[in-house]
Structure 1
């Protein structure tokens, strides 16, 4: 007889190798055909909402690992919520306006925008943006991210633009929008104003100069022999100097040195003395800053006054305590200049070129005049010292080139008027990590008014008209009409029609007695676009709600989307657009370095999916502490792939041993399960509860670790290991075999659901092979709940204690194997010498030989001495010997009953009985 035919070996259509790069796209096609997203929504309709509002990625270029991390974590959250009692729609979005798309067309596509109208150029921008959206959508879907992909929100869509105009109008109606001339971040490389969110800091080498401003009217406090000493690292701003600021409460010293009389803050005297090498310096007089107010100095190389003013912004952090003030080139400078009635002089044009308001420098790029400024100062005898420093300096986040402060007429959204409301909204929001609250609170507390105008073509126009006298026309009527036009035609109509054609029929204004109007040519900051999405998406779509339950983006969005969304929502709704905010760090290479083409350390999501599959990429996301910066590299991904292989093998083993199991007819009742089977359900309960807690608190690394450990320790190293003899050798309906299968079915069903948010492709594949399932996808089920286990504490205590003893027995077996006493553990016979407590434990535990996977176990009597060759542990001593008898040709146990039955001489009595009774028909 072929005894192999009498063994119930595992059988499953679930392959050992997932072949994910090939199998996942087919599965995703199936999801599309099933319309799985809509089926999930239909199934959960009527449940409480959970809305994670998608922060729109910028539609330009292929997705990178930061995109993958972001979208995959969102998918974890949404999938979990939809399986735990919530209606959790996910509407992806795209940010589609702005300079990068203009640049892509002019540089990559070689489009000459000067040879076409703005309207025609914008049409090309829209076409390019939509191509990018389609490309990124395909890549995001390949990640396995489930969402309403064919009905997303896109900031260039007519409906979105119409709602954005309403947001602008509502803010204007409440007095939060105004136009003013003040210094803003200006990017000469982009020829546009920038918001704080568009600024990043890089090191820059700059000239550091100390300059003397001679007093021409000392007001009886200083003489005309005295001079104020200023320090600046922006020499190019000196042509715009109109004043010097001193702190009213600080003390200032008049210092005699080198035949000159110079004024500096007393608190900085020693530092300045060292820097300027004033070896003979003597303080001749000290004066309070408030006494210096209104003194007049002379500009060092222009025939122009420089007024001394009192300013609270002056500090002793660096410099001289006498601050060079150019109202056209700095926020503090502008504010104090307004207070003292100074002009807002800004002799720099849009391209960063000096104008004729800076005699001697006109036509030159601002950063190129520093040397000439120094030469003119030296010629005038005003240059006290020139050196160079490398310091952190603001740069345009798109072009990576330096920006300047430049006073121009811009549109602003007031922060000052709603600052306290913003801070209150921050306090009411739940922040994860908790430091997010402090970070945004400080940003709101310290930020100036938001410059929302840009001097570009590709964006949503600022819907303002001007009368013949230059007065701004911005009314409810005009806003409503423009919004309606945009909803019907899109914002390009602003550039296709004349101002009169964009106004309501019959519109008149006292500011245009002849009926002649012009229109604003600036567009809105792209942060105003995405910052309006709570109105254009959350309030407009029937499947969503406002405020959203969660915003989740990278930590750079505290100054970006989190901030702009908060501002617009509080301004028009009085509340934040989100109940909670979660953030993640950046993705770095394996050594913690920023990825860059020059370093050759870039990992591309598409490449990972082609080589390993999306589920490996998703498992990597779960395996990192995403709230900090995360590392990824080929070796790291290989380690993750190895973990996936172990998880997959666990699934395959469980599926293979359920090939003849029908949960409806073969399950053992919960109350009839005993011993190790009940213990495994206790461990499953613990895992289920832990993973629920981990998902709820967005701790996906804990989900990963807990799930992996359960598969490799609780299952592979224990329960699955001890089950094999029973599953393979006993007859199909043996009670112990069905008990194992019952527990395995419960475990596998629960594991598949618990990991489905992280490994959706693999979970669905398992689900297809799982017996007794009626739902077409695991995505259409709910998460498992813990199963009541009666005497939970007693059962757990017993088996936890046993597992400690088992670990010691396994160590003894390993030593015996290394010493060649035995080969496989089934060749061994154990004699156990337990302490009193462990003896009681072992007596209460059935089937010790199966639990230790040996052929024989004997518990020594209390009077027996522990032999010298036994291995002694804390709770037990173990003697491992070679088992006596013959090896059964079917179960491989060593037994003295082998050959007892004549018709099966190579089998032990148990196997012979099983074969005779259940496999007599086998040849």
Structure 2
């Protein structure tokens, strides 16, 4: 690398095969003179010059980014673009992050993805609708706000006040982080799920769904968290695949034989037992039946080791033989429906009998083919109970302990702990325990407390999703899902949701606007009561549910319209709405009231069962259509080893430390916001995204390389005014026109990639354009023209015109990803008023006139010939050769002739493209080639007018060491004698004097 210094700015000029070498500036017009002459000639070489810094590190980088944000009005851009006239509007609906702590890299991935698309739309001239918001209610906030305090020791208003303060503090920290990342929004006008307007809108959606019969109250099993003491929805669960349970095989002795089997088994009455298997032994006291599959085959088997007679599914005999460690002899086989009418003795409750019942949920994948059924503790069990009118007795309290219904031996014991031990002991004492073993399986956990949950019946409010799913699926057919593979997951999660429990037994949330009759317990809930409560919430917020007197929430006129009695007959409900219902109604509170329909929603894959789904269900329930036109589903952030981020593993990466650096700058350097944004954009966001020192260093180095390329162009545009000095494309050199053609293709591809939410493809296109088309090709060819032609020559101005277009196009193409760098470059770039910002000036300005017929074929044909030439002289400098190109008459010859009108030239466009010092274009190679000539041969296919004109042409080349000497100014072998300048340099120096 040869270093040339101009003023205070250094430039590295790469020396590659055929590349322009740094010029020696040491002669007058004809002969080498004194050192003073050398200095004078050095000043005639137009090397790049710019004050744009090559690299910014540490505090300088951070200060520069913040300066750019201030000077370029990052905080005003959203308002500016909302106020301008635009034909199109783009709406990206922001799924609300949770206000329960500081930001993490998952936030960065999500917010930056959204911002990249929004900034692209602003540049395209579209008016962007993007209102960021926060999900502010819920148990995690409540628990963190209370700390060591117990909610039972505080009034609901005290709990709510602490929770609100905690959420507001978290929002302030998160908002500041989002702004530092360069996220474009009106940060003074966000939405919050605890605002009165939002809560009122939510209640109106609730009432609309209630009036359509989609919201109802019922007593049935729900997921219940003993640690949180509240009901949970499916979306609030995490499944632990490593959960360890004590499973048991237990017997239910037959006390009444099934009628169809009585003739054959009559002598065995009292000796035959039904064998069941369960991973939840604590539910056996609540057993009300044993279920079988009607169409399956069942057998009566005899244990060889004990003569015990057991009823099991025929298909399970082999597995049970292994599990029980004894042979099972098949006595007789029959169809499952023959078991109907049988009755068993409950194993732990003396005198209690339970029936054998048919059920289609019984499978043969595990167990015995006969299922212990406790309607209070499972949805399939509950369905059986509903069908056969079985009791649904709950033996478990809110803290997950057996209550008085379980009996004195169990009362007060935690069902998932000591209660399980006691039940197993009871089975053993009754002679019903066949085997106990540990079982590793997937089990639902509370996503907040990370502890196991259980099924427990309670009186809750539900949404009947069964009546919504078909409409929801139909609506999803009109929604674009990226990646398409996520659609199947969304559908599957929707299918698996038979109902949605929306009531929570907490204080921090939106109260369910229901009043209960003090004597009958009947719920008072209708359009009049909800409309009035919504109005109160809009004006005073939901604290008014606890602050206002009952008469203010349930006034006389509302009671009259509701045909209800006196206000003293009622009391207000204590449950709050599920936070997924909170966030799921954001479309109604945030989007345009005339058509609340977002162009896109972008969230992580966990929202396929969360916000995406709750938004869909509420919108379909109210409007029969989805609230979004497209969904973009991104993955989670993981470590560079692919591990989930965890504080216990020590692999958590704080985005604030990524930007500002950590205590040890060697281990945690300050990367700045643009590196964080590049990491997001470059990643394959549709799968899990890795982050770590290696990833961040790679992103930083990529930006350094990009910055150097931009700096090279800025340096060569010093003093260039595109308004007065730009060259019309039709007067440009062919290679310059060709680069405009490549720039147009690049801009089209980049626009398509942004439109498809594929910023990774944008970066790949950018790097390919810079590395292949610019650095390795165009820049290496034009340096001689840029540095050594006359300052105002057509060739140099042609080149500068293209460099300005490329600089402008590349800068705009990276602006959505790297807004700080783009605005910084724009401040140094020529051709616009001081104070103007890039994001207010539009997208890449390419033109269809840049594509000239025959241009592409001419340049690419010349490049094919050049590649043959350069490959024939590996390791040598192309300027040391005199090149002859021989092409038979035809299209290729005509195209090459357009690049070189004279047969032989040292300064033609063909010579420039060949990177030789002199080129001769002939129809055939001369017969008298010198002995040291290097020859080659190749073909080039010309394809014009969409294939109408096709011609494959053959060319031959011959390269010999050039007889001319190296010019001491431009370093090309074009001078007559060693101590003289070449004709081109003589003219330039003469005119400069």
Q: Mark yes or no: TM-score above 0.5.
A: yes
Residue aligning to 1:626 = 685
Structure 1 residues 167 and 86: alpha-carbon distance in aligned structure 2, compared to 1, 3 A threshold: same
2:457 to 407, 420, 424: 407
List per-residue Cα deviations over 1:801-840 (Å, max 9, x = no partner): 3323333444445423xxxxxxx655x2244566759877
1:497 aligns with 2:514: no
Cα distance in 1 for residues equivalent to 2:447 and 2:578 = 14
What pairs up with 1:662-811 in 2 under 5 angstroms?
Answer: 662-774=721-833, 776-784=836-844, 786-789=846-849, 792=852, 794-811=854-871
Is residue 560 from structure 1 mapped to residue 613 from structure 2 by the alignment? no
In the TM superposition, residue 561 of structure 1 has moved relative to its aligned partner by 0.5
8 A contact 2:740–2:850 mirrored in 1: no
Match of 1:829 among 872, 881, 891: 881
Aligned counterpart in structure 2 of residue 582 of structure 1, from 632, 636, 639: 632
Is the Cα–Cα contact under 8 Å of residues 683 and 689 in structure 2 kept in the other structure? Answer: yes
In structure 2, the partner of 1:26 is 67
The one of 38, 62, 75 equivalent to 2:79 is 38
Shift of the 66–830 alpha-carbon distance from structure 1 to 2, 3 Å rule, reads: farther
Residue in structure 1 matched with residue 271 of structure 2 by the alignment: 225
SS in 1 for 2:730: helix
Q: Quick check: 1:890 aligned with 2:980?
A: no
- Please, which of 576, 583, 600 is the counterpart of residue 530 of structure 1? 583
- Stretches of structure 2 that go unaligned for 5 or more consecutive residues are 1-36, 263-268, 661-669, 900-907, 940-954
Q: 1:879 to 1:518 in 2, by over 3 A?
A: same
1:45-96 Cα shifts (integer Å, max 9, x gaps): 3422210100111112222222111111111111112222422121111111
Native 8 Å contact 2:886 2:925 kept in 1: no
1:312-327 mapped onto 2 (5 Å cutoff): 312-327=360-375
Distance 1:912 1:637 in 2: 50
Q: Quote the residue 1:915 is aligned against.
A: 989
Report the CA distance shift for 1:633/1:802 in structure 2 as closer, same or farther (over 3 A). Answer: farther
- Deviation string 1:877-912 (CA, Å, 9 cap, x unpaired) is 87777655554343233343357xxxxx65333223
CA contact (8 A) 1:89 1:147 kept: no
Pairwise mapping of residues 263-342 of structure 1 onto structure 2 (< 5 A)? 263-279=311-327, 281-303=328-350, 304-342=352-390
How many Å separate the matches in 2 of 1:915 and 1:842? 31
| Cα distance in 2, alignment partners of residues 291 and 390 from structure 1 | 34
Say if 1:864 and 1:498 are closer, same or farther in 2 by CA, change over 3 A: farther
Q: Rate the CA distance shift 1:869–1:737 in 2: closer, same or farther, 3 A.
A: closer
CA drift at 1:658: 1.5
- How far apart in 2 are the matches of 1:293 and 1:830? 100
C-alpha distance 812-138 of structure 1, shift in aligned 2 (>3 A):
farther
Q: CA deviation at 1:596?
A: 1.9
Is the 1:215–1:224 Cα contact (8 Å) retained in structure 2? yes
Query: Mapping of 1:644-655 within 5 angstroms?
Result: 644-655=703-714
SS in 2 for 1:677: helix
Deviation at 1:776, TM superposition (A): 1.4
C-alpha contact (below 8 Å) 1:255/1:263 kept by paired residues: yes
Give the one of 844, 863, 870 matched to 2:927. 863
Residue number in structure 2 paired with 1:820: none
* Aligned counterpart in structure 2 of residue 146 of structure 1, from 184, 189, 200: 184
Paired residues of 1:8 and 1:727 also in contact (CA < 8 A) = yes
Q: Which residue of 461, 478, 495 maps to 2:529?
A: 478
SS, match of residue 647 in structure 1: helix
Residues 879 and 189 of structure 1, relative CA distance in 2, 3 Å threshold? farther
* 1:422-461 alignment runs, 5 A limit: 422-461=472-511
Kindly tell me the number of residue pairs found equivalent between the two proteins. Answer: 899
- Structure 1 window deviating more from structure 2 (2-11 vs 647-656): it is 2-11
CA 1:880–1:67: 2 relative to 1, 3 Å: farther
Kept after mapping to 1: 8 A contact 2:72/2:837 = no
- What secondary structure sits across from 2:722 in the alignment? coil
Using the TM superposition, give the Cα deviation of residue 497 of structure 1 relative to its aligned residue in structure 2, in angstroms: 3.5
Aligned residue for 1:821? none
The residue that corresponds to 1:211 in the other structure is 250
User: Does structure 2 retain, via aligned residues, the 8 Å contact 1:833–1:866?
Assistant: no
Q: Secondary structure at the match of 1:651?
A: helix
Inter-partner Cα distance in structure 1 for 2:364 and 2:68: 65
Shift of 1:695: 1.4
Kindly provide the CA deviation profile for residues 521-574 of structure 1, in whole angstroms up to 9, marking residues without a partner as x.
11111100110001111145x8xx411111110111110000000010111111
Aligned CA distance change for structure 1 residues 661 and 833 (closer, same or farther; 3 Å): closer
Query: Structure 1 residues 329-338 or 71-80, which shifts more?
Result: 71-80
What is the CA distance between 1:137 and its match in structure 2? 0.7
- Alignment of 1:8 with 2:46, yes or no, is yes
SS of structure 1 residue aligned to 2:406: coil
Shift of 1:417: 1.7
Q: CA separation in 1, counterparts of 2:114 and 2:195?
A: 24
Shift of 1:858: 5.1
Q: Distance in 1 between matches of 2:556 and 2:588?
A: 28
3-state SS, counterpart of residue 724 of structure 2: coil
C-alpha displacement at 1:141, in angstroms?
1.1
Paired with 1:761 and 1:514, the residues of 2 have a C-alpha distance of 61
Question: Using a 3 Å threshold, how does the CA distance of structure 1 residues 514 and 61 change in structure 2: closer, same or farther?
Answer: closer
Gaps of 5+ in 1: 817-823, 900-904
Flag the 1:82–1:791 CA change in 2: closer, same or farther, 3 A: closer
After TM superposition, list the pairs within 5 Å mapping 1:43-192 onto structure 2: 43=84, 45-107=85-147, 110-192=148-230
Tell me if the contact between 2:869 and 2:959 (Cα under 8 Å) persists in the aligned partners: no
Q: Alpha carbons of 1:440 and 1:733: their partners in 2 closer, same or farther (altered >3 Å)? A: same
Spell out the pairing of 1:512-551 with structure 2 (5 A cutoff).
512=565, 515-540=568-593, 545-551=595-601
Judged with a 3 Å threshold, the aligned counterparts in structure 2 of structure 1 residues 420 and 526 are, in CA distance, closer, same or farther, namely: same
Q: Deviations over 1:450-500 (max 9, x none)?
A: 001111221111111101221000011110111111111111111223544
The answer (yes or no) to whether the contact 1:297–1:308 under 8 Å persists in 2 is yes
Render the CA deviation track for 1:137-195: whole Å, top value 9, x for unaligned: 11111111111211011111111111111111111111111111111111111111111
- With 79-88 and 31-40 compared, the bigger mean Cα shift is at 31-40
Q: Per-residue deviation at 1:640?
A: 1.8
Alpha-carbon offset, residue 30 of structure 1 = 2.9
Q: In the alignment, which of 410, 426, 429 is matched to residue 361 of structure 1?
A: 410
Distance change in 2, residues 1:604/1:276 (3 Å): same
Alpha-carbon contact 2:86-2:125 (below 8 Å) kept: no
Counterpart of 1:373 (choices 423, 435, 451) is 423
Instruction: State the superposition RMSD in angstroms.
Output: 2.4
Deviates more, 1:193-202 or 1:498-507: 498-507
In structure 1, C-alpha distance between the alignment counterparts of 2:937 and 2:757, rounded to whole Å? 41
Pick closer, same or farther for the CA change 1:769–1:514 going to 2, 3 Å. Answer: closer
Matches within 5 A, 1:867-886: 867=931, 870=934, 884=963, 886=965
